[in-house]
Amino acid sequence: MSIKLASLLSLAAAATGFPFDSTNSTSLNPDNGYGIKWTGVITPGQPKTSLFGTIDEIYERILAINPNYVAQPLDESDLALLATPWNSPETSKLAARQRSRYLDNIPNPRCRVMATGNSRSLSYQIEQLEYIGGICEAPKDACRRVGCKSTTAGYLCGENGSPAVVACTDVSRRMDKIKRGCCSVIFDIGGKPVSGNIKHANYSVWAGYGNCNHGIDSSPSKYPYPGGGVNGKC
């Protein structure tokens, strides 16, 4: 009964535009309650589209619509949603991948903030974020799973009373910095443990443990460090 109620609440939220209501686009599927919202142009010349889910689910839907998909540059309406320097005129025509060069200096991650994931499983999610570009969102003061592979997940969270509205390449860069900056090991055979987060004024990016079978209640707080140690200690 509780699962059915959660599903109904999720569908109702998608129908009313809550909790995602910042980007102006057509949604092709309802909010599943645990994944991010992605917004971008799937086919050049067509309107923006929004998809909900983890990054692998979103990418699969994108390729079903356009097998030759290439991430399009963010436009001025996208840039207006993002923190400076993204919304400055001189960056408005750069492709999403190029735009990462203009990010504010990404701070070093805080490590051992949740149970650990695996660096190689995280790399898969980082690469997919780079491929799809566009805007990634999470609701106000809530976390959503960016991706999940094996026992490893990335998360995007709204902070300080704000939703997270972020260039997906920004999420990718921050996850990559967590992967490289946390849990050093001498030998990285099969991947190393990863646990960390990087916080911005109104959003945060996390990387660590994830159970891909967990649904609507999945967030970093569900998996405190050190957890069960399935991926080792940080």
Q: Between residues 217 and 191, which one has the greater pLDDT?
A: 191
Tens of pLDDT, residue by residue over 190-207, are 678 999 999 988 899 999
**DSSP per position, the chain:** -HHHHHHHHHHHHHHHT-S--SS--EESS---SSBEEEEE-SSTTSPPEEEEE-HHHHHHHHHHH-TT--PPPP-HHHHTTSPTTTTSGGGTTS-HHHHGGGSPPPPPPEESSSS-EEHHHHHHHHHHHHHH-SEEEE-TT-EEEEEEETTEEEEEEE-TT--EEEEHHHHHHHHHHHHHHSS--S--TT--EE-EEEE-SSEEEEEEE--TT--TT--GGGS-SSTT-TT---
User: What are the boundaries of each domain within the chain?
Assistant: 2-222
**Which of 22-36, 94-108, 154-168, 172-186 has the weakest average pLDDT?**
94-108
